Amino acid sequence: MLVDFETSWYASNTAAFHLLKQGTLRPIVITVICDGHLGPKLIGVEPEFLSFLIDPKQNSAGALFDFGCYGPDLMTWPMDGETPISVTAVTGSLTAPYDDPPHGCSLERIDQEGNILSSLKTNMTVSEILDAARRSAATGKAGSLPLKE
């Protein structure tokens, strides 16, 4: 299984990962991730897909999962798949100049066993983090991990 997180395309993310692993960057203590775009309608999403995206019953958490996946994906990889101890999520809109995401891409080899950005282990941890983020956004409280059933 592969979830095609856009963050796995950026060469800058791979370069930062290698700098972290080489010790050039200090260890990660806390991260704050902001991401998004103008919205599916304004960026020209096809009408059939738009109706799915804006329906909370069909699309679960909508933009929270659509853009919320990038931060957990980027952070799960350098943390060797370790689940964070908590997640706090706030949803909203960005104002300029933080409203234009970086561009560029690279694609790593898909590896279901290793610690890479597209691995199954990373994708599973990202899904758990997103569920905690959805709960946090709904309740206004940090969600502890791992999730309890």
In the chain, where the domains are located:
6-139
DSSP 22: H
Q: Scanning the structure block, which residue is given the tokens 């940090």? A: 142
Q: What is the C-alpha to C-alpha distance for residues 148 and 125, in angstroms, rounded to an integer?
A: 14
| pLDDT, position 22 | 93
| pLDDT, position 103 | 36
Neighbours of 6 (CB within 10 A): 13
| pLDDT, position 112 | 44
Do 14 and 115 contact (CB within 8 A), yes or no? no
pLDDT in tens, the chain (149 residues): 566 777 778 888 889 889 989 999 888 877 777 666 677 788 888 998 888 877 777 877 766 777 778 888 888 888 888 888 888 877 766 565 555 554 333 333 344 456 666 677 788 888 888 888 888 888 999 888 877 65
- Whole-model pTM: value is 0.54
Question: Beta strands 86-87 and 143-144: pairing type?
Answer: antiparallel
Which two structure tokens, joined as six digits, stand for 24?
């050039």
Do 8 and 108 contact (CB within 8 A), yes or no? yes
Q: What is the C-alpha to C-alpha distance for residues 116 and 125, in angstroms, rounded to an integer?
A: 13
